[in-house]
Chain A
Amino acid sequence: MSELLKISGLHASIDADGTPKEILRGVDLVIPPGEVHAIMGPNGCGKSTLSYVLAGREDYEVTAGSALFKGEDLLAMEPEERAAAGIFLAFQSPVELPGVNNANFLRTAVNAVRRARNAPELDAVGFLKAVRAATKNLSMADDMLKRNVNVGFSGGEKKRNEVLQMTMLQPTLAILDETDSGLDVDALRIVAEGVQNLRSPDFSALVITHHQKLLDYLGPDRVHVMAKGRIIRSGGPELAKQINEEGYAAFLKEAA
């Protein structure tokens, strides 16, 4: 199969005070297995919206188009079914769960996904081993597992926690929504390595970013430029360099 994800003519809107506001206006995108693709685009063009729609957030209404994941109708699935099928979204703003222990949350999630994938559940010992190895790779302090999910985490800790979840949940398609934003150089490298460690023919990533730096680490196969709810240009890694140097203005003019 040459397509892991195939998005065609995707339109989606959100209810803004009673009137539908169209945000995605015909997105076309194909991600083959094993590839890393980047999406760049000005603030407010719909990048996060695309990631939410792919992950199944209910506030958005898909008004036209389709999204196939491993040949299946992604848009017909519940969010947890998409997660089980292999979609992982690293949130631009990770959500706090007061009172919910991070390790407990992670283990519940891992086992929910493993069950759905017909894999044996991890017992406490197996889980602990796996999660210790992962936190070490991500240079995370052990006490992060004891704290409540994202509560009181710094921006960088939240992002790392997302990468930890990604590592443990073993997705086939990871969507990273500005996971590099707000990270210092060391944290950025650690996060990039976290993604690189997962690279395999069975792992693809859709990386939403504003920065060249992360892409330097990841070496994307394709770069897409998004504007006003559509992909307006696609190309190789050189496209990212061009944006970095010239900004979006040239592309926007071209698209108009």
Chain B
Amino acid sequence: MPAVTETREQVEKLGKSSYEWGFETDIEMDVAPKGLNEDIIRLISTRKEEPEWMLEWRLAAYRSWLKMKEPTWAKVTHPPIDYQDVHYYAAPKKKDGPKSLEEVDPELLRTYEKLGIPLHEQAMLAGVEVPEGEEARLPVAVDAVFDSVSVATTFRKTLSEAGVIFCPISEAIRDYPDLVKQYIGSVVPVADNFYAALNSAVFTDGSFVFVPKGVRCPMELSTYFRINAKNTGQFERTLIVVEDGASVSYLEGCTAPMRDENQLHAAVVELVAMEDSSIKYSTVQNWYPGDENGRGGIYNFVTKRGACRGARAKISWTQVETGSAITWKYPSCILQGEESVGEFYSVAVTNNHQQADTGTKMIHLGRNSRSTIIAKTISAGKSDSTYRGQVKIMPKASGARNFTQCDSLLIGDQCGAHTVPYIESRNMTARVEHEATTSKISEDQMFYCRQRGLSQEDAVGLIVNGFCKEVLKELPMEFAVEAQKLLQISLEGSVG
């Protein structure tokens, strides 16, 4: 309930420009020259002090990328992207990587403070006020990625005592090369698709998580991505491996300054879940969406995939997508293990000129594997949103089940919402259910709410939050509140 009030205040506070995260940080940067070639890849690898095998891996990816074409099947349009007009490496200037928070540039810490991401462990512990009647929550460990590098990872000591590794992937490549080598590219192969290949060639940072056998990660893990530098692509890479019987809940958030040019973001996330393990991966994606005329904004081309490798492994994707000019993203599950479980809960909001083509793939290989897809699409303004989902039941997946529910909510009459389900079942005993609805916020509903004293924004906020309830409840609680605010802010100006 208070979230609604807070939201209203927030919206009022924001006034005209509704993207509150659009400020720029003035900080000395080490930037590679524009363009992409083998030398740039060598430079990135050198800067990251990578072993030789990693460089070879990148170069192989680059060589396959050269032979690939951008995919065209998604329902999105954009002017051609000049991949030579992008900086592939930008990092805050610093001789060595920061060893502790004390060494992090205070300007950077201020940036994250401004974004509401506390990086000081002390401050975080002290700052957690517990409302009456609620249990104290565990702090969240944060990895903060600023342009191409991770600037700080908190709570590493607490985590390592539990046996959990949570660190920048660049560091993992140096410190845990065997683990990385074993799993990187094993879920999303280097040449999986155009953007994944590009990412494999030039990725700069991201997070690495390893939870050993039987360990339940003692706190939420969170990575916060921030694009700051101009004309810089962000190519982060995240790898999460959870061994038998282990579990983790991970959240990523992202923002970028407001800029008139489009910026490229092509990430790869790989999840590996072994027997009886579970990974909950939540995203609140709030990259700069462009202005109300469709100028600027992030091109968000992302490959996210998880493999349930063992029996009863579970991977759950929850995403709230409010940002980006273009979103191209299909978090997927490969359900190899018997009775393994894949879930996809999604809210995608588009307003003004935003375009989103997002959904999931559930590939059933294991017997009695189950998947659930709940996708909520909200379109407003002149935006266009597509749910694209594939459910594939392979011959050995006897008794597999899928349930898919796709609901679209239209606000106004200039936007579009589309549902494109692909269902392929190659096992007679499998059961696949698909339900879809499209609704509009009706004049009756708006009038009813306003007659009760609600502003149009509050009315839309209530109805939209109600529409997304099943998805929002999947988010860790503090982020659910955040997501509710975001939903309302991103729909600002969509009515009246």
Contact = CB atoms under 8 A, between A and B. Distances in A.
Interface of A: 55-59, 78-80, 82-84, 88-89, 91, 94-101, 104-105, 107-113, 116, 121, 124, 148, 165, 169
Given A58-B447, A83-B450, A97-B445, A112 B455 contact: yes
Question: What are the 10 tightest A-B residue pairs by CB atom distance, in nearest-first order?
Answer: A99-B466, A79-B450, A113-B453, A95-B448, A83-B453, A109-B452, A100-B466, A112-B453, A80-B450, A95-B444
A108 B448 contact: no
B102 interface: no
A108 B443 contact: no
Contacts of B4: 104, 108
B458 A108 contact: yes
Contacts of B462: 97, 100, 104-105, 108
B467 interface: yes
Contacts of B450: 56, 78-80, 83
Contacts, number: 90
Main secondary structure of the interface of B (DSSP, over half): helix
Given A58-B447, A121-B5, A97 B455 contact: no
Contacts of A165: 452
B448 A109 contact: no
Interface residues of B, number: 27
A97 B463 CA distance: 7
24 contacts: A56-B450, A78-B450, A80-B455, A83-B452, A84-B453, A95-B447, A97-B445, A98-B439, A98-B466, A99-B463, A99-B465, A99-B466, A99-B469, A100-B462, A100-B463, A104-B1, A104-B4, A109-B452, A109-B453, A110-B453, A112-B458, A121-B5, A124-B2, A165-B452
A127 to B, nearest CB: 8
Which of B445, B449, B469 has the most chain A CB atoms inside 10 A of its CB? Answer: B449
Nearest to A57: B447
A214 B424 CA distance: 61
Contacts of A56: 447, 450-451
Contacts of A116: 453
B454 A80 contact: yes
A78 B2 CA distance: 25
Contacts of A98: 439, 466-467
Contacts of A107: 1
A97 B466 contact: yes
Given A108-B1, A111-B5, A99 B452 contact: no
Nearest to B462: A100
Which of B448, B455, B462, B468 has the most chain A CB atoms inside 10 A of its CB? Answer: B448
A78 B442 CA distance: 18
Contact of B453 (A91, A100, A169): A169
A91 B448 contact: yes
A185 B438 CA distance: 40
Contacts of B449: 97, 105, 109
Contacts of B455: 80, 112
A110 B450 CA distance: 12
A112 B1 contact: no
Contacts of B458: 108, 112
Interface in B428-448: 439, 442-445, 447-448
B462 to A, nearest CB: 5
Given A80-B454, A83-B452, A165-B452, A101 B447 contact: no
A80 B453 contact: yes
Contacts of B466: 97-101, 148
Nearest to B464: A99
Given A80-B454, A83-B451, A97-B466, 6 more contacts: A80-B453, A83-B452, A95-B447, A100-B466, A108-B462, A113-B452
Contacts of B5: 108, 111, 121
A100 B1 CA distance: 11
A108 B455 CA distance: 10
A79 B453 CA distance: 7
A205 to B, nearest CB: 16
B345 to A, nearest CB: 15
A95 B445 contact: yes
A83 B451 CA distance: 6
Interface in B1-54: 1-2, 4-5
Contacts of A99: 463, 465-469
A69 to B, nearest CB: 14
B79 to A, nearest CB: 38
Contacts of A169: 452-453
